[in-house]
């Protein structure tokens, strides 16, 4: 998913994250992956211009990792601005 993001292949990144979500769910493993994946998912949605989905993913990430609020809130502000919400 990160490699796709690095190459601005946002839809492919989301597809990879969805596949990993299914794999993680199938194993029944508890992992931080799903929380961390929300950050990557938010970046992919932003690249696609799906700003509401990006904000939702960033919010989910912050719920899992509130100690990272400062850096993520800056990205969220950028998404709100891109969406025309100031």
- 9-18: pLDDT as tens digits: 999 999 999 9
- 17-69: pLDDT as tens digits: 999 888 877 887 656 677 788 999 999 999 999 999 999 999 999 998 899 89
* Strands annotated E in the chain: none
The pTM assigned to this predicted structure is 0.84
Q: What is the pLDDT of residue 31?
A: 62
Q: How far apart are CA 54 and CA 20, in angstroms?
A: 18
List phi, psi (to 5°) of 30. -95, 130
Q: How far apart are CA 74 and CA 41, in angstroms?
A: 16
- Is residue 24 within 8 A of residue 33, CB to CB? The reply is yes
């Amino acid at each position: 998913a990160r490699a796709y993001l690095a190459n601005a292949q946002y839809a492919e990144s989301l597809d990879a994250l969805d596949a990993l979500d299914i794999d993680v769910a199938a194993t029944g493993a508890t992992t931080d992956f799903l929380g961390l994946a929300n950050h990557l998912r938010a970046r992919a949605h932003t690249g696609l211009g799906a700003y509401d989905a990006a904000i939702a993913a960033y919010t989910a990430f912050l719920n899992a990792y509130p100690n990272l609020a400062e850096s993520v809130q800056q990205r969220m502000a950028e998404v709100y601005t891109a969406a025309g919400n100031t």
